Structure 1
Amino acid sequence: MSDTARTFEQKTPSEIERELDHLNRLARTLDSRFVLPGTSIRFGLDTLIGLVPGIGDTLVAAPSAWIIWRGHRMGIGKRHIARMVANSAADYVIGLVPVIGDLFDVGFKANLRNVAILQEQLDARKQAQSAVQPETGALA
């Protein structure tokens, strides 16, 4: 069975952390890889590629969809997947508008938002699972 075919429950905590690290690196590359010199304004490949009229935002939609798909494969709930889709859809649709869309990309950072949703849900699931598992230890 390939690594991508394994469900969340079949993965070890270290495998889940590696997956989240990979998705976080991808999101940072897309949304905040570079700094505008002399400012604290961060932007990524999403903004740069989005400058190409028409095709730029469409090209960047693929890695955004990948992040959502990985969240789905990890078993994130439908409501949270819907939030992730809404973030990416807003980024895509508004990103199509010249200049305004590029400014929106710099501020909105849909991919970082989506990875934060994913991280939040996986952390909540981990806490719920650890609360259900009985404590192990010797009686004193």
Structure 2
Amino acid sequence: MAIGPQPARRMEHELPIGNDPASVRRRIEMLERVLERAFTVPGIRRQVGLDAVVGLVPVAGDLIAAALGLYLVWEARNLGMSKWQLARMSANVGFDSLVGAIPIAGDLFDFVFRSNSRNLKIIRKHLDKHHPHTRVIDA
């Protein structure tokens, strides 16, 4: 048994802080996972995330979910994505926020329409084309 300070273990999922495309990719993939697929609902085995859970809180929850979704758009803007792509991503967030604001029906809609996953797909396509060295092979 060792006595004294233990060596610091590297965190499994460190948040990258750089502005390079590889760091941005890891950061937005982690955020998308938290927003859309953080845990699985027992019984139906459906993955849900913070977006759907926070959306249950009237008004404030929808505003928080929209702000987190717009953060992905901001990161995409920093990557130099086209205005068309940014408009499409903003429309995904806006549509999700508007329909999500409807009581009950909007909450059910949040479980189906995953704007952050759609936006991640747009960003990945851009990164794969313009920054292929950031590509990660999923196992």
Report TM bin, short chain.
Answer: 0.7 to 0.9
Query: How many pairs does the alignment contain?
Result: 116
| Structure 1 residues not aligned, in runs of 5+ | 5-10, 128-140
2:136 alignment counterpart: none
Q: 2:122 corresponds to which letter in structure 1?
A: I
Which 4+ stretches in 1 moved above 3 angstroms? none
Deviation at 1:52, TM superposition (A): 0.8
- Larger relative helix fraction: 1
Aligned pair 1:17/2:15, yes or no?
no
2:87 alignment counterpart: 82
Match of 1:51, SS state, is: coil
Which deviations, in whole Å up to 9, do the C-alpha atoms of 1:21-60 show, x marking residues without a partner? 1111111111111111022311111111111111110012
Per the normalisation by structure 1, the TM-score is 0.77
Per the normalisation by structure 2, the TM-score is 0.77
Match for 2:101 among 93, 96, 106? Answer: 96
Match for 2:59 among 54, 58, 83? Answer: 54
Aligned-residue CA RMSD (Å): 1.6
Deviation at 1:126, TM superposition (A): 3.3
1:110 alignment counterpart: 115
Match of 2:131, SS state, is: helix
Alpha-carbon distance in structure 2 between the residues aligned to 1:65 and 1:34: 22
| Structure 2 residues not aligned, in runs of 5+ | 1-16, 133-139
Q: 2:97 corresponds to which letter in structure 1?
A: Y
2:49 alignment counterpart: 44
Which deviations, in whole Å up to 9, do the C-alpha atoms of 1:48-101 show, x marking residues without a partner? 111111111001211111110010010011111111001100110000001111
